[in-house]
Structure 1
């Protein structure tokens, strides 16, 4: 039998599992069981794995990858179920006073009336002795500290003193971590805060990690268990024990990771739509957009997916006031404990409208319909979408059309409107809430609406996305196996790691060093070195150099369904991606796995005509990794760096009295796409280019695309 990848997604209500063929990436099996809260999550994991294997005749030895996503870290923070942290702050001399203030983070409010409590002691790092450290840790233990954090000014340059504190604490049987282990950026206050949040999660996550690891071993699966990270990658369970904070928000990351890998999205906005809320994230140039996460309103050095959440979803209830529809949500039928009107299977006669308060402090404006049989059903956004034909037959959210229409007739009569107008009003109220946010994301990430696809995932993707795309004049699609897209994302995720360092004007040696360090780090997290792909970003405004690495746990092609397409098929895909007629698209050049396609169309405005040039770079399997209007390109051999590439960059550089602004640049060669858009000057750009292309031969060709 072919090797199998298993993904498990542990949610608050259900635990989902999928089995995916490791060679074809086809979904072989899917399973859903209630989450085992009382017996413990590990019991549920054992149960669902065994059931998945038995029902589909999968032998444990055929499983070569297994990973699970968990909401435990997020839930622990929301519920305040965290350990008390003892902080050992350190500094000396002129910087000592500032270090004492910045390492004393005090208590952090995680949620309303839920706090992370800390105890604090400060040491002069210039006169540090083992006895002093031991005495300080004892003081923190007396203050009920369960975990120790060591944080010293400039420890990212020399972590020796932090390591002394960590070793001493571990000798006493305590969990301990240091600021330098969490982030290598300057910024003592934020680094300490991030380390404290991480430390507060360690005891609970250690217990869970041990139980889940043993649970997988009990199923006789020999592959190491991987855990979903907040950036859409996975890491080994050993790394979870050290850095549990990286699993925070990982549940939100899994869905978009599935869309990215399974649906080959290049530029799009992904909507994971459930019953109560929508999680929205951005994909640009085949990458998910990431930013620093906040905990209790405070910034941390944890980089996670940029996810925006709104309380509009399939189960959102309809609010009515003075015989007018005034809102959709934020409460859902799930919160109210009332069934959806569109999923009634038995023949039902509806009697009258009533209004309820889903929660005690809610207004009594949420409409439900009473049945002659005595049951109550909620009006929902899913019901409105079904009425207007947005939900295709066979979709997870497809309802009973006859009963749904009968139920909505009662509401429409109460409002003095037609059934269709009532449903349309509800859809408009809901999508109006989303339009502003989508426009904000488009502006923030400099997306081109013409090239964006809105992608629906989750059980209610079809409830929201088609109507929103229609309103905004954009393309849309519902992800394949949308209700299981998060679990698929877990099964298909790559190992991921990241290092950030504070470096002003990085040299080529700085870049080589951080590249070497990130490869070592990702291998420790479970990736095979041969599969590792590294990208380097430089933020000159903040003096930050960032290395991001992805890799696989075994030898495999990371592009799904990797069947090489002929040029005609690639032209057709490029035409669709560029939203331009097929006859206008031509292949201009190719190298390695990459084809550069260009479309030239004529646009008439008043009496004037102008040509619009659009460029797409597509790989041999049909994944569009770059598309944009007003883009210039050149193909050159490595040995032509000086006489072709540098003049090309110079031609696309904007010069002013103050400075020279180089263009945004991508390079494509062999199997690699190199993003150089974060470079601020030619020196930085060439340094990274030289490091990344070091192993190329002189006659190897490179495609460069540049835009201003």
Structure 2
């Protein structure tokens, strides 16, 4: 059975506050949102799975495929709760992780303290060996020293070993020998080679990626094996796939080997969903806005494709400050992520400034209104006080919210310190978190030369619809789309993603002295590796292969991506690669550099299963006035007072149903807040389309 023909698919997205589960069947889609179980995340998954199975009437054996995304790897790196890890590197490079870029991320902070490396200096070991940039052996490996290290690593209780030797991307023989020697000598730790995880130039990023992979590998392996067993024990016989940060799915075994590729798995699912919606509606400029319980994610999507990158920083010590985190080189959907969610805690500092997040109340104890012991005010508490959330129907009525507890928390921690009413304090919380998110979107768009006023916003996640319209007003965005099943949008995106895998390998050459045999050899090698992983998940599926070279003028410091023709390369293809490079360089810098040779540093191949085409856009039905199911008193930003606004129940709204804000559009797992500046309607694809008057 190919991915495209699969009829019954299950997806689970574990967030910091809630776990979202989606079951797609021939009879329709069933969803559940349950609190995340921080101790045993698989229990939260099974709780959600039980709900959607009961709704659908399906047995575990009826499920054809299970796709999973998790923040477990990311959280382990952010919270420094990974395995006890050691690094083995080339003699003379013991401190590469601390030297980093030889710069400070904030040049004017005289008290700046850089985050400590994941591997302390006493757990970083060196061995005598040396390869040159071409992969030729300059110094043979000191095999006796490696054998000695095995006993020392066991004595120190090391759970994971990262092996990063100089120029191993050109020749992995020494790294492979280190692994074999450690295993033969009885080393009990999990071993990760940089030539497997990140066979690319630039040793700092390569070492950091390898260390991060080692740091989370034992944890992720235990968790994924436990999830696999739990599913089997409950009667599931379908294959388990993991969502990657690059927007594709990978197999369980590949995820266990390379868990670093899972760090942005949840957010990438949201970007996949937004890109598919953009294609179906022919919206060629989209900004996706995904707000959950812990974080908010913003991604630009041009021509129906989310922007991607090869570099990603984990756990930035300073918000928005490039260089303050841990850089890893993995395929990733490029987005900006900030600590702004429903669980973000509001506080007033000593200078009487209101601050929101990044600390979150999470699922335990959660917001004060949850009644689970939380006493600090959160964004969710503010929305309850403002009347935007119905305390009786929250989480499909499975969780009653305590409005008085929310008021007490906001009054004590925000209202009284600022000498304002509880309602004004609650409005201040929502306005501040919206401004924080809008500012992040502005920064992201400026960095990419995008004018957000020309973009359409697609909002999803449990908190996205509550704040999307006010975000749009702050950003000058005139059109907001809230898709069906928006509260579990990332999990829905998992079901739209292809099985895909990218392999990047450095092999240096210049266009003036192009090595056809060498280029074809490396392309064949990495194509075979990528195809092997994808085929292990879908043996019969049609595959799509995309080839890229990372190129620059000789003497430059950074590369651009250039497409590489399919098939065995010929001299004619080399001329085409040169022309494509010059065209790409001209688009970026409006010029080329004549008589300067061009060099290729790395080659990339992405192999994926063919995606189902987006459903063609359909004409919207005749507009008619939507019927409200009642009204509720809501505190409106424009009036600074409460006002009764109509409530529309989204499941009852047919295509063409229209209304004028202010209004609330409620659905089982979230609510869309619409201000007076926007109108709303349901289109032919069940999307809620909000447009500025």
**Equivalent-residue separation in structure 1 for 2:519 and 2:140 (angstroms):** 35
Post-superposition CA distance 1:61-102 (Å, at most 9, x none) = 442221111222122223322223333323xxxxx64x4554
Contact 2:273 2:490 in 1 (8 A): yes
CA displacement at 1:113 relative to structure 2: 8.0
Secondary structure, aligned partner of 2:199: coil
Pick aligned residue for 2:270 from 244, 251, 255: 255
Which residue number in structure 1 is paired with residue 146 of structure 2?
Answer: 133
Contact 2:291 2:463 in 1 (8 A): yes
Which residue number in structure 1 is paired with residue 162 of structure 2?
Answer: 149
Q: Residues 228-243 of structure 1: matches in 2 within 5 Å?
A: 228-243=243-258
Q: Specify whether residues 207 and 444 from structure 1 end up closer, same or farther in structure 2 by C-alpha distance, changes over 3 A only.
A: same
Pick aligned residue for 1:476 from 456, 469, 480: 480
**Equivalent-residue separation in structure 1 for 2:613 and 2:232 (angstroms):** 29
Which residue number in structure 2 is paired with residue 309 of structure 1?
Answer: 337
**Equivalent-residue separation in structure 1 for 2:532 and 2:393 (angstroms):** 44
Post-superposition CA distance 1:151-174 (Å, at most 9, x none) = 222211111111111122233244
Q: Residues 150-189 of structure 1: matches in 2 within 5 Å?
A: 150-171=163-184, 172=186, 173-189=188-204
Which residue number in structure 2 is paired with residue 19 of structure 1?
Answer: 23
Secondary structure, aligned partner of 2:495: helix
Pick aligned residue for 2:298 from 245, 264, 280: 280
Q: In the alignment, does 2:99 pair up with 1:71?
A: no
Q: Specify whether residues 453 and 180 from structure 1 end up closer, same or farther in structure 2 by C-alpha distance, changes over 3 A only.
A: same
Secondary structure, aligned partner of 1:492: coil
**Equivalent-residue separation in structure 1 for 2:196 and 2:419 (angstroms):** 64
CA displacement at 1:273 relative to structure 2: 1.4
Q: Specify whether residues 269 and 546 from structure 1 end up closer, same or farther in structure 2 by C-alpha distance, changes over 3 A only.
A: farther
Q: In the alignment, does 2:210 pair up with 1:192?
A: no
Q: Specify whether residues 303 and 433 from structure 1 end up closer, same or farther in structure 2 by C-alpha distance, changes over 3 A only.
A: same
Q: Specify whether residues 285 and 41 from structure 1 end up closer, same or farther in structure 2 by C-alpha distance, changes over 3 A only.
A: same
Q: How many aligned residue pairs are there? A: 517
Which residue number in structure 1 is paired with residue 606 of structure 2?
Answer: 549
Which residue number in structure 2 is paired with residue 440 of structure 1?
Answer: 443
**Equivalent-residue separation in structure 2 for 1:312 and 1:298 (angstroms):** 21
Q: Residues 502-651 of structure 1: matches in 2 within 5 Å?
A: 502=506, 503-505=508-510, 507=514, 512-513=520-521, 515-527=523-535, 528=538, 530-540=542-552, 541-542=558-559, 543-552=600-609, 557-560=611-614, 562=615, 564=616
Contact 1:397 1:459 in 2 (8 A): no
Post-superposition CA distance 1:192-230 (Å, at most 9, x none) = 222122112222222222222222333443332111212
**Equivalent-residue separation in structure 2 for 1:435 and 1:33 (angstroms):** 28
| TM-score, normalised with respect to structure 1 | 0.62
Which residue number in structure 2 is paired with residue 613 of structure 1?
Answer: none
Q: In the alignment, does 2:313 pair up with 1:294?
A: yes
Which residue number in structure 1 is paired with residue 456 of structure 2?
Answer: 453
CA displacement at 1:19 relative to structure 2: 0.9
**Equivalent-residue separation in structure 2 for 1:200 and 1:522 (angstroms):** 24
CA displacement at 1:238 relative to structure 2: 0.6
Contact 1:9 1:17 in 2 (8 A): yes
Q: Residues 100-115 of structure 1: matches in 2 within 5 Å?
A: 102=96, 115=118
Which residue number in structure 1 is paired with residue 670 of structure 2?
Answer: none
Secondary structure, aligned partner of 2:500: strand
CA displacement at 1:48 relative to structure 2: 4.4
Contact 2:16 2:293 in 1 (8 A): no
CA displacement at 1:485 relative to structure 2: 0.9
Pick aligned residue for 1:494 from 498, 511, 520: 498
**Equivalent-residue separation in structure 2 for 1:139 and 1:422 (angstroms):** 57
CA displacement at 1:269 relative to structure 2: 1.9
Secondary structure, aligned partner of 2:534: coil
Bigger mean CA deviation after superposition, 277-286 or 331-340: 331-340
Q: Specify whether residues 547 and 316 from structure 1 end up closer, same or farther in structure 2 by C-alpha distance, changes over 3 A only.
A: same
**Equivalent-residue separation in structure 1 for 2:328 and 2:349 (angstroms):** 42
Q: Specify whether residues 103 and 115 from structure 1 end up closer, same or farther in structure 2 by C-alpha distance, changes over 3 A only.
A: closer
Secondary structure, aligned partner of 1:280: strand
Contact 2:175 2:193 in 1 (8 A): yes
Q: In the alignment, does 2:9 pair up with 1:5?
A: yes
Q: Specify whether residues 72 and 110 from structure 1 end up closer, same or farther in structure 2 by C-alpha distance, changes over 3 A only.
A: farther
Q: Specify whether residues 463 and 499 from structure 1 end up closer, same or farther in structure 2 by C-alpha distance, changes over 3 A only.
A: same
**Equivalent-residue separation in structure 2 for 1:36 and 1:395 (angstroms):** 19
Secondary structure, aligned partner of 1:238: helix
Contact 1:169 1:175 in 2 (8 A): no
**Equivalent-residue separation in structure 1 for 2:48 and 2:42 (angstroms):** 10
Secondary structure, aligned partner of 2:612: coil
Which residue number in structure 2 is paired with residue 124 of structure 1?
Answer: 129
**Equivalent-residue separation in structure 2 for 1:186 and 1:378 (angstroms):** 45
CA displacement at 1:243 relative to structure 2: 0.9
> Which structure shows the higher strand fraction?
1
CA displacement at 1:510 relative to structure 2: 6.2
Q: Specify whether residues 396 and 446 from structure 1 end up closer, same or farther in structure 2 by C-alpha distance, changes over 3 A only.
A: farther
Pick aligned residue for 1:467 from 466, 470, 494: 470
**Equivalent-residue separation in structure 2 for 1:442 and 1:210 (angstroms):** 40
**Equivalent-residue separation in structure 1 for 2:429 and 2:344 (angstroms):** 10
Q: Specify whether residues 537 and 442 from structure 1 end up closer, same or farther in structure 2 by C-alpha distance, changes over 3 A only.
A: farther
Bigger mean CA deviation after superposition, 189-198 or 268-277: 268-277
CA displacement at 1:289 relative to structure 2: 2.5
| TM-score, normalised with respect to structure 2 | 0.63
**Equivalent-residue separation in structure 2 for 1:304 and 1:63 (angstroms):** 29
Q: Specify whether residues 191 and 396 from structure 1 end up closer, same or farther in structure 2 by C-alpha distance, changes over 3 A only.
A: same
Post-superposition CA distance 1:12-57 (Å, at most 9, x none) = 4443321113xx7x8521123444455x334444554455445423
Q: Specify whether residues 382 and 499 from structure 1 end up closer, same or farther in structure 2 by C-alpha distance, changes over 3 A only.
A: farther
Secondary structure, aligned partner of 1:380: helix
Structure 2 unaligned regions, length at least 5: 101-111, 131-138, 316-324, 553-557, 560-599, 621-683, 686-693
Structure 1 unaligned regions, length at least 5: 91-95, 345-356, 360-365, 368-376, 570-620, 623-708
Secondary structure, aligned partner of 2:191: strand
Secondary structure, aligned partner of 1:204: helix
Contact 1:85 1:149 in 2 (8 A): yes
**Equivalent-residue separation in structure 1 for 2:7 and 2:183 (angstroms):** 40
Secondary structure, aligned partner of 2:200: coil
**Equivalent-residue separation in structure 2 for 1:110 and 1:320 (angstroms):** 25
